[in-house]
Chains A and B, each alone.
Chain A
């Protein structure tokens, strides 16, 4: 199959116009010794029907779709209104690139402007960018931004921040002289305030926590903000389960200066981890150190409202090595999906969705913690995830569930040595009462 649109006469005439006798002439400037003398070793090309059959077959190697899953941990299954797929599949959205020519990109630009507004409303802060890659690199960008704003070498990061996010932060700061210190969680699963008070000092540029955190626990944001600000440090909140913003207190209202995180819950399928949607918002006074593309409102020569990419001098194509970030291509189509999702669900829909998550997770916890030998590990408030500890270990439970068509919570042993018999369970609005009852029933069957 070929997507070339030239006929044979076209090619001949074009070569004649150029004054070349063959296509090879056009590559004459390239040294002979680097020319490929034979064809690449790739399989025979497939026609469309063969292509589809091939991938359907490869896809069948994924058995997981046949399972009922209770996994969360930074990737969440939520209902996605069909209009999200329908509208975001339009060629006029999929096939343009970054809106460098705003006059013919008002669709893309207005959507970015609406998206930025929605993120500001949800986070309670004043400016947002057009997207970052995903939650972990968004957290890393937040750390770098704090370093630029405060000029101090240390960042305090909660140990209950998603393990992958902490790994990525460390990868990013390694070559920049920024020190990352972790602050443990307490018995309730929240940031240990005493440990925080001991570690924070005049060299700290920011305090960063995740809420709800990786253990599913909602943090006391007001208290953490206060401690950070007392020491002239920025307070940064990472949100991995964005659906929680539909009902939980806006981090900006609690004192966060920068909020960043993962927007996958806003209308993106699980996608085996990507493409996802990094989001970031901050206070207006930090705008010049803020990374990412930003759309702004303006007027055209006839006074009509329009939108353009703006504050571009922060960015790589102008500032080059002094840019606030190297990001160029971001996650625009994912931000489009999120915008459609948020506008379709709307104010009441977002709240209802979040409310159902809380109710169903609460119901699930009651049923599961009611099983002998199973208890909730942490007492702090939660949204749609919680950590359960299993007497006799989690492996037997995990295996029993798998044998019965269920993927249980994420085993935490690889991530926290103190939680070796624990697992992180996630319940969302997509789980029915029957699903939850089935889970509890199977857990109860495991001998302890």
Chain B
């Protein structure tokens, strides 16, 4: 259920590292807690993030959750698909439901 090459933060985010690119999302546990996701607030491409800085916000009908960056880096891509289909975060939180990709600043953050 939980992919093997992923790292997990205590705030229920996951990170998958390929080279110096990190893909970040929220875990299956987190999406279950939230319930049906209705909206995802994504950051701008190019934004610089520090460890534990807020990436964006995930909203369900009855709850709202900040998403924190487990690593530092620069946002190189955001999952635009979530704008039209926020429910992807519920169906496939570890795959299609990725939120952002970062160019890693400091591998030691892991």
Contacts and interface: CB of A to CB of B under 8 A. Distances in A.
Contacts of A318: 62-64
Interface in B50-84: 59-64
A312 interface: yes
A312 B35 CA distance: 14
Contacts of B64: 313, 318-319, 322
B1 to A, nearest CB: 28
Contacts of A319: 64
A313 B62 CA distance: 7
A322 B39 CA distance: 16
B62 A312 contact: yes
A313 B59 CA distance: 7
Contacts of A312: 61-62
A288 B63 contact: no
Interface in B1-44: 38-39, 41
- Most B CB atoms within 10 A — which of A288, A312, A313, A322? A313
A288 B62 contact: no
A127 to B, nearest CB: 15
A115 B56 CA distance: 33
B4 to A, nearest CB: 34
A318 B61 CA distance: 10
A309 B63 CA distance: 14
A114 B64 CA distance: 28
Nearest to B65: A313
A319 B66 CA distance: 11
Nearest to B61: A312
Contacts of B62: 312-313, 318
A128 B64 CA distance: 23
Interface string A311-329: 0110000110010000000
A196 B62 CA distance: 43
A196 B64 CA distance: 40
B39 A288 contact: yes
A323 B36 CA distance: 20
B65 to A, nearest CB: 10
Nearest to A322: B64
A318 B63 CA distance: 6
Contacts of B39: 288, 313
A297 to B, nearest CB: 15
Nearest to A319: B64
A319 B64 CA distance: 7
Nearest to B64: A313
A322 B57 CA distance: 12
Contacts of A288: 39, 41
A319 B63 CA distance: 8
A288 B86 CA distance: 15
Interface in A72-106: none
A300 to B, nearest CB: 15
A321 to B, nearest CB: 12
Contacts of B60: 313
Interface in A287-335: 288, 312-313, 318-319, 322
A318 B62 CA distance: 7
B86 to A, nearest CB: 12
A107 B21 CA distance: 53
A318 B41 CA distance: 16
A288 B83 CA distance: 13
Nearest to A317: B62
Contacts of A322: 64
A319 B60 CA distance: 12
Contacts of B63: 313, 318
B16 to A, nearest CB: 28
Contacts of A313: 38-39, 59-64
A109 to B, nearest CB: 16
A194 B60 CA distance: 47
A315 to B, nearest CB: 10
The residue in B59, B62, B63 that gathers the most chain A C-beta atoms within 10 A of its C-beta is B59
A424 B93 CA distance: 62
7 contacts: A288-B39, A288-B41, A312-B61, A313-B59, A313-B60, A313-B64, A319-B64
Given A313-B38, A313-B64, A322-B64, 14 more contacts: A288-B39, A288-B41, A312-B61, A312-B62, A313-B39, A313-B59, A313-B60, A313-B61, A313-B62, A313-B63, A318-B62, A318-B63, A318-B64, A319-B64
Interface of A: 288, 312-313, 318-319, 322
Nearest 6 CB-CB pairings of A with B: A313-B59, A313-B64, A318-B64, A319-B64, A318-B63, A318-B62
